[in-house]
Amino acid sequence: MIISISNVWARVVDAAPDERAWVFDFFSCNVEQWFAAGGYMDTITRSMVDQVSGRFASGLVPLLIAGLRRSGITAEIQDDRVVPSALDSTANLAWLRTYQRSAVDSVQVRRPRGMIKAPTGAGKSEIFIGLTRALPCEWLFVVHRASILDEVAKRYALRTGEQAGVFSSGRWRKGTCNVTLASFQTLHRGLKRGDAITRDFLCAMQGVNVDECHAQSAASFYAVLQSMPNAYYRVGQSGTPLVRDDWDNLRTIGALGPVIYQIPRQVLVDGQVLSAARVRMVECSQPDYHTPYWREIYQRSVVYSAKRNCLLAEIAARARKPAFLFIDEINHGEQVHMRLKRRGVRVSAVYGDKQAHQRASALQDLVDGRTEVLICTAVFQEGVDVPALKAVINGQGKKSIIAQLQRIGRGMRVCGDGDNTFDVWDIADTGQHVLERHAKKRLATYQDEGYEVESCPFEALAE
């Protein structure tokens, strides 16, 4: 069997029929698909390999090589990629922390593509800047939230004294260095409308760094990365790079490559970069009832549950301040907001309908002590670091590992006041079978991540 590799695609060039079938099956998995014509959901089998051409995303090659080795199948790798630039051994990377330098080295030395598992607070932008200095080619830094771009640009200018370029609205505004920043949404829109400038821009990139690459599994993200034929270096960074279903994980690996380096959270805690978090799960029992509709369960047992919302207000009132209280719907936030005001807690709320300056103002009020609790949705789930934060309360009752860990990360940076501890509060839902299943999954996530977890009965809240 011969496998040819380019920056974007790999192909089974020469193989016996049974070997081709093996590769096809190796990258196959079950996927749920909605059939609109019949109005039903069914499970089908899909493969990342085109059965006719034998083509598949080249980031999957390391997985294939390992699988072939285990099965005793011999394969010859024909690597057609061209290294765009040599390593700059004179680059000054002394400002990187030890683990950040090791992450950069993992790309320089081990593999030119893959994912770096880095918890919130690890300094993902610093790692990216180190890569661009050590490997001086045309780099693209892509995000899935445009609001993050300004922060990255400021960090890059502060660290290097240079101005990064920006690609937006179909226009490439070059900076003073080899780095350009862009959002996936902008790039995908350009590709969809057949914009030649967007296509040429993507072709010019020789390296790409994907911020929060767990979101890369979306079809739009995959399409963008597979439109970069000259991107030899491909790096993704996330604290949760592979936590979705098999199909999405395969697409993420296909576009970027497998995990090549991990930064343990405890390394950051020991280095006093992150606070040591304690998770407290407070039980809330509600009656069970059977309905096939998740929306009905969520509205009845979370959004408008008087018992659960009173408990959330009690937790928020007694938690250390300042604190974030995360919910997913405005109506839910208003229910808790009303109860906190009645208790005399200085509380404000920020939802997706707020403008950037309103969000910044609410955040500053929290940091300065004018408010004690900020109720918020996913708008503060990413791209916001509040070292002064003392507690995060997860009130949404859902099961997303990504959302769960990102929300915790908002306040885990050490703030320099000598108190390097941080509290996470969550509801241990019982009784209602769907919410109980979600709560158990959240608990398992906390334990898997190495957090100290304790069960906290309602009566012990004041302790």
126 and 244 assigned to the same domain? yes
User: Is cis: bond before 322, omega within 30 of 0?
Assistant: yes
Is 87 inside any structural domain? no
Is 91 inside any structural domain? no
CATH number at residue 31: 3.30.780.20
CATH number at residue 280: 3.40.50.300
Phi and psi for 30 in degrees, rounded to 5?
-85, 135
Is 321 inside any structural domain? yes
Which of 79, 110, 128 is a domain's end point?
79
374 and 237 assigned to the same domain? no
Which of 263, 296, 317 is a domain's end point?
263
Does the predicted model carry a pTM greater than 0.85? no
120 and 253 assigned to the same domain? yes
Closest to 359 measured CA to CA, from 350, 369, 346, 371: 350
pLDDT score of 406: 67
323 and 248 assigned to the same domain? no
175 and 259 assigned to the same domain? yes
Closest to 9 measured CA to CA, from 66, 55, 62, 50: 55
436 and 287 assigned to the same domain? yes
In 3-state terms, what secondary structure has residue 414?
coil
| Distance from C-alpha of 131 to C-alpha of 129, rounded to nearest angstrom | 5
Which residue range(s) make up the domain with 447? 268-460
114 and 217 assigned to the same domain? yes
Residue that the structure tokens 């034998």 belong to? 54
Give Cα 215 distance to the centre of its chain.
6
Is 253 inside any structural domain? yes
Is 85 inside any structural domain? no
Q: What angle do CA 278, 263, 224 make, to 5 degrees?
A: 110
120 and 249 assigned to the same domain? yes
Closest to 71 measured CA to CA, from 5, 6, 1: 1
Is 44 inside any structural domain? yes
Which of 212, 238, 263 is a domain's end point?
263
255 and 175 assigned to the same domain? yes
207 in Cβ contact with 140 (< 8 Å): yes
Is 409 inside any structural domain? yes
235 and 365 assigned to the same domain? no
70 and 139 assigned to the same domain? no
- As for how many domains the chain has, the answer is 3
Per-residue pLDDT 10s for the chain (463 aa) are 899 999 999 999 888 888 889 999 999 988 777 666 666 667 788 889 988 888 999 999 999 999 998 888 888 999 989 888 778 878 888 889 988 999 998 887 778 999 998 887 788 889 999 999 999 899 999 987 777 788 888 889 989 899 999 999 889 999 999 999 999 989 999 999 999 999 999 999 999 999 888 766 677 888 999 999 999 999 999 877 776 677 888 889 999 999 999 988 778 777 766 677 788 999 999 999 888 888 999 999 999 999 999 999 999 999 989 899 999 899 999 999 999 999 999 999 888 777 777 888 888 888 888 999 999 887 665 556 676 788 889 998 887 766 666 666 655 555 555 567 788 899 999 999 999 999 998 888 888 777 888 887 665 554 4
| Distance from C-alpha of 429 to C-alpha of 51, rounded to nearest angstrom | 46
Number of H helices, E strands in the chain: 16, 21
| Distance from C-alpha of 453 to C-alpha of 424, rounded to nearest angstrom | 9
pLDDT score of 222: 86
319 and 210 assigned to the same domain? no
Is 116 inside any structural domain? yes
Residue 120 identity? T
